[in-house]
Amino acid sequence: MLFLAVMFICLHLNVNAQYVDHGGLYDLYGRQLNTITTAVPFLQIAPDSRAGAMADIGCATAADANSQASNPSKYVFNDNKFGFSVSYSPWLRKLVGDINLAYLSAYYKITDMDAIAFSLRYFSLGDIFFSDENGTNPYGEGVAKSPNEFALDFTYSRKLIDELAIAITPRFIYSNLTAGYDPYADGSKAGLAGAADVSLFYEQDFRAKGLSNSTLRAGLAIANIGNKISYTSSTNRDFLPMNLKLGIGYEMDFDEYNKLTLNGEFNKLLVPTNPVYATDSVGHLIYDESGSRIIASGMDPNVSVAEGIIHSFYDAPGGFREELQEINWALGAEYSYRDLFFVRLGYFYESPYKGNRQFLTCGVGLKYSIFNLDVSYLFAINQYHPLANTLRFTLSFDFASFNKDDIKNQGKLR
């Protein structure tokens, strides 16, 4: 179906021409491709413009109202008392015009040691015209349905010491890909899942030669640990995009006006890698006595969630070299003038054998009083990439207190 193809292309595109061999997937040069796919990949999209402008980096950047999407343990390091943010991005503009991602987040610092936050992430797949095997729309001629997905989560974060914080984030996931249509009478339904994130964040100020101040930040987040999700009444269930993020950032304050932050981040999916199945001399799959495909290299991906997380570190059929290919990395930079105007750049890399997402990003931000406006833009390195020209917009507000006079005077030009 069209919307399933779009979801696959969205986060797992490989721009090389491909052909399918029964034992695996290859490009036209004979190189084996082994992209890892999961359910609800919209959870891997960085929804806010600040992260989007720095190649989706956010695990170890300075705290802001959108920290829920990358590393919620940052919230206790916010300078302000509470805030909220709204983000919007037209998605896959190169393919269709009605897919979009919307994001709402808010936080509140209970004390200097702990904070709470929540967020709602909504992904619309646009209007879909369904059809049966005869090409007939079961809902009537010209009638479209609007499949959608959303995730709602809540966070509690707390400082363990002045420089280190931890956060726990339970999450509810709803994925309605068929909009109630059941073409094969197999009990098609919306997918439901529960998940949780665990994250850590470290921030330490120190003096460095030639700088008025420096800040070292580091972050770790294990996201979307939860049950498998299913869209039918059958026993087939798919993994959530469980992933491990590690980030580091270094902020340099040259003077009271100019500031530069450099960031790096690594990301790895914690789900099983597809094995290579055995074939006979003419390329047909070989089955055992129970009717299961025989694995020639790699491990059986049909395991529990806990086993899948453990296996993800050593189950690649290509061995250690392929395991390294499954680690995505990104670099980002942010320049700030008087904490009022921001310029951001980023670069994201994913192995050609694991999806081939490679892009440059840029963006700007404007902050005045309690108001923040950020915009980001994505340049795809590969031609005809569906993520090319992706825009993200974020509007956020931060408040130092509930006092009206404090809010009125907050953030005046120094």
**What tens digit of pLDDT does each residue of 351-376 get?**
999 988 999 999 999 998 889 999 99
pLDDT at 5: 38
Lowest average pLDDT, out of 9-13, 38-42, 77-81, 133-137, goes to: 9-13
H or E element, residue 404: helix 404-409
Closest CA to 88 of 405, 395, 414: 395
Q: What is the mean pLDDT of the chain?
A: 85
Q: Give the neighbor-by-neighbor strand order of the sheet with 24-27.
A: 18-21, 24-27, 32-33
Q: CA-CA distance, 414 to 410, in Å (whole number)?
A: 11
Other beta carbons within 10 angstroms of residue 200's beta carbon come to 19
Q: Which residue bears the tokens 């991602």?
A: 101
Question: What are the residues whose beta carbons fall under 8 Å from the beta carbon of 235, sequence distance 6 or more?
Answer: none
Residue 186 has pLDDT above 90, yes or no: no
- Please write the tens of the pLDDT for every residue from 129-175: 666 666 665 555 544 577 899 999 999 999 999 999 999 999 999 99
pLDDT value at position 351? 93
Alpha helices in 225-342 (DSSP H): 305-311, 320-325
Determine the Cα–Cα distance for residues 88 and 73; give it in Å rounded to an integer: 23
d(CA 73, CA 157): 5
For the residues 106-110, what does the mean pLDDT come to?
Answer: 97
Tokens, residue 77: 């390091």
Query: How far apart are alpha carbons 271 and 224 in whole angstroms?
Result: 11
Say how far apart CA 131 and CA 141 lie, in whole Å. Answer: 10
Whether the predicted pLDDT of 299 surpasses 70? yes
276: part of which helix (H) or strand (E)?
strand 276-277
pLDDT digits (tens, 9 = 90+) for 302-360: 999 999 999 999 999 999 999 999 999 999 999 999 999 999 999 999 999 998 899 99
Please state, in angstroms and as integers, the Cα–Cα distance from residue 51 to each residue in 152, 263, 380, 389, following that order: 20, 11, 16, 16
Distance CA 247, CA 218 (A): 6
pLDDT attached to residue 30:
44
Per DSSP, what are the bridge partners of residue 118? 106, 154
For the chain, the first-to-last Cα distance in angstroms comes to 56
Residue 237 corresponds to which amino acid? R
**What was the pLDDT predicted at 236?**
76
